[in-house]
A and B are shown apart, each in its own frame.
Chain A
């Protein structure tokens, strides 16, 4: 018990291993049907239901600038909660939980900040395997260039309350 450790969910995306704190993860599911939403953000594949709520399905490959990939049996949706928002993140696969000591997480080196560098909180190595730790808030902070439309709706989202629809079941 040398230092504090946090449990992370590890997932694969375009050949790299990423991690997000398991405390933010609600559940992980097989990728099934995603309903298209016209004119949604380009990284949004559509919507899925999770616990009776309509949740955006964010394609992390698209988010990080990688090409989209055909869905496979290993494709997973990780439902993560950031503040009051739940987003389903589509990843190539997700199979592991790991305890990562806080002390072993190193900040990102300048050289590494490529396309996805802005979404990383740090990195660590476990058994010589490089693990990139996601900054979930940054990941979900989609294009501010749509500021007008987004900020409007964010105002509403921040005051969001359960609707009768949520009670109708």
Chain B
């Protein structure tokens, strides 16, 4: 690269670096999962290995560019191991896969620490283990030689800092710490990180190089160099942005611990409780999708010029207005806009694999820490949903998977006694269904014991129904999701960041989705999340009653029919209309707003249906069909059951978008006798 070190560019470069890191790591994770079936086979899956190799290699490359040595070296050893696997000179072992996974996690931690300007975790032990793996595997003599050479070269670059310093001191080398701050003017002089590194290695032995991120995204590089003698021109180096400091000849261990950021103790590097390190704001787009957008924009340009022609024609005196031509232009523009909108929606869609790929690691970690056996089965990873939804669903899914593991999965002994295989299966799946995506987290564990849940809910003092039907999963779920319930039972690792079921439920709801539960004792549990594929735009029917206008998402409307006051009857205090062979409970839009309905000779009923049920919405008028931009309602003061969001129809006034799920699932109740019909008192 040609480093241009203005702060903005620097930040941009680093941003690019992190984005690339994320991408490579994501690919690696996906591939690692595919690698597991190859364990013990003489020749592991070549394509997967190649994929892994390429990604580790790229990771190494970009780490080197930003001077992230620890990551570069670790990726390097990993690459060596993968190369041997590809050649078939070593057999893939479970331990090997484990190490590859650990290496991946460590690379991520290193990148994350670098980003957060924290001390970098060390990767020495992993590197050593990885090299051991290379040597331990049965190789022929001369491969051994080759690998010894490569191992030697590895150690010279990857040498653990502590021993290297000790060694350098033992050889009587002077320890210098050089700090290089790259800048644009320096770069123009030809002084950059590479030339500095070359200069330093020319004068001595670079024992360690550490990039330090400073405020404003600037980077400084610290080099620890062992030198036989002080370079004669060292005083002039400062003009090249290099400051030098002769370190005291104190004990090497003190040096290693203090001067050198990477902790010399390795393994207990603080584990990230949340494997999702930072929200990602980057969407990869396939070029054809962009080409499509470009084509649409091109069409719009042409249509606009036709519109302009028409405008200038009719603005000439004496010309008649050709409404037909204008309509045609309008129709054309309308179509292009719709296409453009759909195109942009498609660009925003990313595969759920972005979240799924991390979950096997989560389950592995949990299994290791808890002496339970479980594996994760995944389906539908290529299901695409809006990027925003992906970001929002990360934590809820993570929580559900952890929950499945810690509450659902039994110990191996328990499972044996129950006649189940020792290894539990947690399955994660995604599928689209109409305009929704359904994501399920299921386990084959012990299921939810309703009695226990109720007891605990009473202990915590939650309001619970007197009698709970054995099959009433919705009420059970409501208890599980009550704040104060989950926090107490989840005091173990599952509650890593205090994200409880309450938050899962609320996140899903805020996205306009639903959460459902299926569970059977001794068989397992299944949490089902259903969220809209995209949420920005909806096709709606605009309806009104008693001067209140609302938008009803068309996906819920299965039928529209006229209805008269006489047809609405009361059965057990609930208003119903005859519908097909039976009756349909109805909700009057006016009474939803707690307004007195005006007597209307003719009204309409929208038959709303979802997988939760059906109901009718009685309105005075249907104004037509509109495509609306959905604005979410985020302030709790105005979040109300039955309201999914708001939009405007061009006059700047908010219009509520009704929540079809709430109307069909009973969350908004049909009119009962004596329903509040207070007149308009507000506003």
Q: Enumerate chain A interface residues (CB-CB to B < 8 A).
A: 32-41, 44-49, 52-56, 58-59, 68, 71, 85, 87, 142, 148-157, 159-161, 163-169
Contact = CB atoms under 8 A, between A and B. Distances in A.
Given A56-B638, A165-B645, A168-B536, A34 B483 contact: no
Interface of B: 348, 386, 388, 391-392, 482-483, 502-503, 505-507, 509-510, 534-537, 548, 592-595, 629-643, 645-646, 648, 652-656, 681-683
B390 to A, nearest CB: 11
B633 A152 contact: no
Nearest to B589: A38
Complex A-B, nearest 6 residue pairs according to Cβ-Cβ distance, in ascending order: A153-B636, A164-B536, A56-B637, A156-B506, A35-B654, A56-B638
Contacts of A56: 635, 637-638
A166 B629 CA distance: 9
Please report whether the interface of chain A is mostly helix, strand, loop or mixed according to DSSP.
Answer: mixed
B631 A52 contact: yes
A152 B640 contact: no
A52 B645 CA distance: 13
Contacts of A54: 631-635, 638, 645-646, 654
A40 B645 contact: no
A168 B636 contact: no
Contact of B635 (A87, A166, A169): A87
Contacts of B642: 38-39
Given A34-B683, A152-B502, A164-B534, A39 B637 contact: no
Contacts of A58: 637
A41 B682 CA distance: 12
A164 B502 contact: no
B598 to A, nearest CB: 16
B626 to A, nearest CB: 15
B633 A165 contact: no
A40 B638 contact: yes
B637 A41 contact: yes
A167 to B, nearest CB: 7
Contacts of B636: 149-150, 153-154, 156-157
20 contacts: A33-B652, A36-B548, A36-B683, A40-B637, A46-B683, A47-B656, A49-B646, A49-B652, A52-B631, A55-B635, A58-B637, A59-B682, A85-B635, A87-B637, A148-B483, A149-B636, A152-B502, A163-B632, A164-B348, A168-B537
Contacts of B640: 37-40
Contacts of B506: 152-153, 155-156
Given A54-B632, A68-B681, A151 B483 contact: yes
Nearest to B641: A39
B592 A38 contact: yes
A8 B509 CA distance: 39
B682 A46 contact: yes
A47 to B, nearest CB: 5
Nearest to A35: B654
Given A38-B640, A56-B638, A47 B633 contact: yes
A157 B635 contact: yes
Contacts of B638: 37, 40, 44, 46-47, 54, 56
A83 to B, nearest CB: 12
B548 A165 contact: no
Given A32-B652, A36-B548, A38-B643, 15 more contacts: A32-B653, A35-B646, A39-B640, A46-B654, A46-B683, A54-B631, A54-B632, A58-B637, A154-B636, A157-B636, A159-B507, A165-B629, A165-B631, A165-B645, A167-B536
Contacts of A160: 634
Contact of B634 (A68, A157, A164): A157
B593 A38 contact: yes
Contacts of B348: 164
Contacts of A169: 629
Contact of B503 (A142, A155, A161): A155
Contact of B653 (A33, A44, A159): A33
A49 B642 CA distance: 19
Contacts of A142: 637
